[in-house]
Chains A and B, each alone.
Chain A
Amino acid sequence: MYTASDLRKGLRIKIDNDPYVVTEFNFVKPGKGQALYRCRLRNMINGSQFERTFRSVDAFESADLQEKKMQYLYQEEDKYCFMDNESYEQVFLNREQVGDAVNYLIDNIEAQVLFFEDRALGLSLSNFVDLVVTQADPWAKGDSVTGNQKPVTLQTGYQILVPTFIEEGEKIRVDTRTGEYLTRVKG
């Protein structure tokens, strides 16, 4: 069971027996008033979305999802193909089901694909993924507010802010939960 204070982006809960994922989350509390938890929820089966505001007293069951370790193979138009390395079973996820993970999907990366009654609905990646910087502009010392950072493009097309010492061709580690740069990876 989850309570309202567990709500956060990415949490999967059960509502009317369907699995939902929290796609946007905001904690609001008017002065001296009660805590409110504003969520945008996406039905993981049919993709329908709605907004709902919960209170501290609300409780939720976790969504009945099974995870299966699979490998990402390729993308074909809007479809992303994953394969079970033992049974060679293949499943497809659409762009919406892949979500932010699209920023980290490199060939053969291992993913936990989520199933609800044998239907693939989404995926989780490990918290840290190493990606190659494919484009980085040479850095001219800039203004002080942006500080020691610059935008670069990674091999997946994902644009990310990194320290200025990172150069094209280097590999960096990214936190898939926040989408932020973590560290440079050697070798």
Chain B
Amino acid sequence: MSRDEPDAGREWRLTRRRAVLEIRARMIQALRRFFVSAGYLEVETPARIPAPAPETHIDAPPAGDWFLQTSPELCMKRLLAAGYGKIFQIAKCYRDGERGDRHLPEFTMLEWYRPASDYRDLMAECEALLPFVLEALGRDAALVYRGERIDLTAPWERLSVAEAFRRFTRLTPEDALRKACFDERMALDIEPRLGRGRPTFLYDYPAACAALARRKPTDPDRAERFELYVSGIELANAFSELTDVDEQRRRFETARAERERLGKADYPSAEPFLAALGAMPPAAGIALGVDRLAMLLADADRIDDIVAFVPEDL
């Protein structure tokens, strides 16, 4: 096609994007190398599934009678239950209605699980992963994103959700939940201030905010969940995984009831997952947004800039 054809503008945009897509490709190759050399098995699970995990605010796009996965979590946990040990996956995931500077309705997730571990082990693994990727890209131990220098030297900041609310709002997490403004305070007052100068692990969420996480043995009102932030960007979400079948079933029912109250689609119960969960060893699991990591490494302001195509291009 000649460069003067009507689509030349779009073609040119792709040409322009090539340098960034090369960074993205090298980053994904480095992620694979990290996990393979750490003894993880790379797995693939179906993107189209009959019963997504019910979560109040995450909507799976329908695909025929089934759904597109919002994360590969349930199938990967069945592999854990079958004794696969340390596993990782780089998977396309789908979430209806999520479109913004940091959201695409189809995105790429890096998800990994390690048995006989809890969320603190995953924090340490994140502290090793990011410097490994940076080194693979020929960078030094500091990331510069939008002019801000982020020092990746371990240990990174560890900040509890309760402390973050104390520091950045006038509410406790429990007050915020009662007043139904937990998400607003988190998104508007807390998240933009995290991961400044060095990454932040925001940890120990109210149990109500973690449908698939284990409660803290020493504080059952909190769940062993953390989110990783870099320069105000939420990069990863991790749990010490819940392995109690009855409690998991109750939490799914709570989420389904909440979805029904909000007029959202109901999903069938994920019975094969619940049947397998009893055999799952204690484990920790984490999902990291590959596109967001590419944004950080390519110094991109918008998620649109680190993928070849966004929905609006198609």
Specify whether A and B are partners. Answer: yes
- B15 x A35 contact (CB < 8 A): no
Chain A residues with CB under 8 Å of chain B are: 5, 26-36, 38, 53, 56-57, 144-145, 147-149, 163, 165, 173, 175, 180-184, 186
Flag if A27 contacts B187 (CB, 8 Å): no
Whether the Cβ atoms of B15 and A186 lie closer than 8 Å is: no
Chain A nearest Cβ from B165, distance in angstroms: 13
Q: Which of B13, B15, B184, B234 contacts A31 (CB 8 A)?
A: B234
Q: Which residues of B contact A30 (CB under 8 A)?
A: 183, 186-187, 191, 234
Neighbouring A residues of B16 by C-beta, 8 Å = 147-149
Cβ of B26: which chain A residues have Cβ within 8 Å of it?
none
Bound CA span A10–B75, Å: 42
Docked Cα-Cα span, A28 to B16, in Å, equals: 27
Q: What 1/0 flags go to B1-32 for Cβ under 8 Å of A?
A: 00111101100110111110000000000000
**Chain A residues near B15 (CB, 8 Å)?**
147-148, 163
Is B55's beta carbon under 8 Å from chain A?
A: yes
Once A30-B186, A163-B3 are accepted as A-B contacts, the answer to whether A35 and B97 lie under 8 Å apart by CB is yes
A38 to B211: give the CA distance in the assembly, Å.
26
Between A and B, how many residue pairs show CB distances below 8 Å?
87
B5: chain A residues at CB < 8 Å are 183
Closest approach, in angstroms, between the C-beta of B170 and any C-beta of chain A?
18
Q: Which of B61-69, B78-86, B99-107, B116-124 contacts A (4 or more CB under 8 A)?
A: B99-107
CA distance A124 to B134 in the complex (A): 45
A5 touches B97 (CB 8 A): yes
State whether A163 and B12 are in contact (beta carbons under 8 Å apart), knowing that A29-B103, A30-B234, A32-B55 are contacts in the complex: yes
Whether A181 contacts B12 in the complex (CB less than 8 A), given A27-B99, A33-B187, comes out as: yes
Judge if B167 is at the interface, Cβ distance under 8 Å.
no
Number of B residues with CB within 8 Å of any CB on chain A: 38
Q: Is the CB of A36 within 8 A of B184?
A: yes
Cβ–Cβ contact B97 & A32, under 8 A: no
Interface pair B100/A28, CB less than 8 Å apart: yes
Taking the nearest CB of chain B, how far is it from the CB of A170, in angstroms?
Answer: 11
A58 to chain B, nearest CB (A): 13
B88-103 interface with A by 8 A CB criterion = 97-103
Query: What chain A residues lie within 8 Å of B6 (beta carbons)?
Result: 183
User: Would you give the shortest CB distance from A60 to chain B, in whole angstroms?
Assistant: 16
Q: A148-B15, A184-B8 are in contact. Are A33 and B98 (CB under 8 A)?
A: no
- Name which residue of chain B comes closest to A147, CB basis: B16
Sample 7 A-B pairs with CB under 8 A, ordered by A number: A27-B101, A29-B103, A33-B57, A36-B183, A57-B262, A181-B12, A183-B9
Among residues of A, the one whose C-beta sits closest to the C-beta of B299 is A145
Cβ contact within 8 Å between A34 and B8: no
- Is the pair A32, B99 in contact by a Cβ cutoff of 8 Å? no
Q: How far is the CA of A31 from the CA of B97 in the complex (A)?
A: 15
| CB-contact partner of B186 in A33, A35, A53, A186, under 8 A | A33
Whether B9 pairs with A181 at a CB distance below 8 angstroms is yes
Q: Does B156 contact A (CB under 8 A)?
A: no
Interface 0/1 of B220-242, CB less than 8 Å to A = 00000001000000100100000
Shortest C-beta distance, B35 to chain A (Å), equals 22
Inter-chain contact B97/A56, CB cutoff 8 Å: yes
